[in-house]
Amino acid sequence: MKASKTYLLPATILGLLGLTAWMPAQAGGYDEQQIRFPLTRQPLLNEGCLPKASGTVKVRSIGNAEIMDVRVAGLSPNTEYDLFIIQVPNPPFGMSWYQGDLQTKRNGVGHARFIGRFNKETFIVAPGSTVAPQVHDSDADENPQTGPIHTYHVGIWFNSPEDAVKAGCQGITTPFNGEHNAGIQVLNTATFPDEEGPLLELEP
């Protein structure tokens, strides 16, 4: 027993020292960077459609990824919206990547958090064309080949045309949700140029 105790103590101390040396690298051992930018009302909306719609986005680096916090106000209460990372802010939008949903409260205010790559290196690429799964009737059966395309803009859509009509907006159907039957776009980052969306400002 004495021999085992003699070796246990140094091993325990070394283990704790190793843990101490490891923790800073995992908890803040990087230069935190962050950006903030506005979301503005889609100008193609009807005059009476969500006239006070607005939002803000904060993106901060956590080293190997980014955290994006999206806050909106002036939207329809208790309503679901869909958020995409897009090539350009207005139609035809270009390459678009579904991030997730945002649910408003009864006062039309909402918040959602997404974790991914939201910086200068955010892009979509297809080295070649190949088969694609057709989960819905409107799905393509293969992808188009394309070189790297950076996607630096953010857009938010009604989850359904019915919700849009209730808010006094156009009842058009768009593919911007998981079932490809979303409503019209509500907010975007059109205050930035098409080729210089806000995510371009965050270094990886």
89 neighbors 189 (Cβ within 8 angstroms): yes
Helix (H, G, I), strand (E, B) or coil at 183: coil
* Confidence class for position 5, pLDDT limits 50, 70, 90: very low
Mean pLDDT for all residues in the chain: 89
Looking at 1-5, 70-74, 88-92, which range is the least confident one?
1-5
In the chain, the N- to C-terminal Cα span, in Å, equals 53
In the predicted structure, residue 91 carries a pLDDT above the cut 80: yes
